[in-house]
Amino acid sequence: MFRSAYDVRSCFVLFAFITLVAVPSRGEDQKTEPTNASEAAAKKAKQAAELNQKFAAWKATLSPEQQAWETVLEENLGGFYLPHYQKAKLQGTITAWDYVTDDPKLPRVLLIGDSVSRGYTLATRNALAGKANVHRAPANCGPTATALKQLDVWLGDGNWDVIHFNFGIHDRRTPTADYAARLETLVKRLQKTGAKLIWASTTPVPSDWKEGPSIKTAIEERNQIAERVMKKQGVAIDDLFTFITPHQAEAQNPKDVHFNEQGYELLGSQVAKSISQTLEQSDSK
């Protein structure tokens, strides 16, 4: 059966309307079209170059000693941490990796560890203000395998009175025998500096962390291994695991190995207490 001319015209108008609504205009299509990989890479490279240029200009205003420190950071912080540090310094923010101008009358302390250690560095430094010059290694120190390669860089001139150190979370999948052997090697290298050593036990991992409850067991096992190594080598132990566990619910970020501001203040106060006790023992001898 044939349609009337009116029906044909109606269908045509309806089709045109649907097409107009369903198909975006060229301008709209350009707005929603994803940027291709090469354009994204070029944009990222441009931003990095601009950041490096601004940081270089800031760095040029510093003393030669501080410029040397900034160079060490540029060579060791890596592609993730370095941009964050550069942005922070350009904004005038105080960071854990800031250059420390030593008071020659005070002992020198070095903190070695991963991002948890970095988190409590400022709290430790503040707690020991007027009592010690508190530095930290120029890196997110990671696992023992990295430490074996980079320790000499982290130690700098090696003129330290106390070294407070930890390797654990990044070693959660390191075979236990390898972990113990590497710790032995690292302790012997640290002892050559003549500094008093303090081992920090690895802080707890929440049971609901993304990697599952088995990681919690792995961390506790490595703490036990480290304890045996440190007792064998005569190294003092700052048991941060036991200290912070009762405060874990309110001090640790949800489903995360890191801590909130309260947690880092607590950890920093404990680290400062441990270092102070070690310094007092040295003074009494």
Rounded Cα distance between 143 and 145, Å, is 5
Q: Give backbone dihedrals phi and psi of 198, rounded to 5 degrees, phi first.
A: -130, 120
Alpha-carbon distance 186 to 167, whole Å? 10
Q: For position 191, what pLDDT does the model report?
A: 97
The pLDDT value recorded for residue 75 is 97
- Residue 36 is predicted with a pLDDT of 83
SS3 category, 133:
strand
Q: Name residue 147's beta-bridge partners.
A: none
Say how many C-beta atoms besides its own lie within 10 A of residue 243's C-beta.
19
Per-residue confidence (pLDDT) for residue 42, from 0 to 100: 87
What pLDDT shows up at residue 285?
Answer: 66
* C-alpha closest to that of 274 among 212, 200, 208: 200
Distances in whole angstroms, Cα of residue 51 to Cα of each of 87, 91, 133: 8, 12, 30
First and final CA of the chain: distance in angstroms?
112
140: nearest Cα among 110, 170, 162: 170
What is the pairing mode between strands 196-200 and 236-238? parallel
pLDDT value, residue 35 = 65
d(CA 151, CA 155): 6
Residue with tokens 């919690």: 216
Q: Which of 125, 117, 130 is closest to 94 using CA atoms?
A: 125
Question: What is the mean pLDDT, run by run of 10 residues, along the chain of 285 residues?
Answer: 43 42 45 69 90 97 98 97 97 98 98 97 98 98 97 96 97 97 98 98 90 89 98 98 97 94 98 97 76
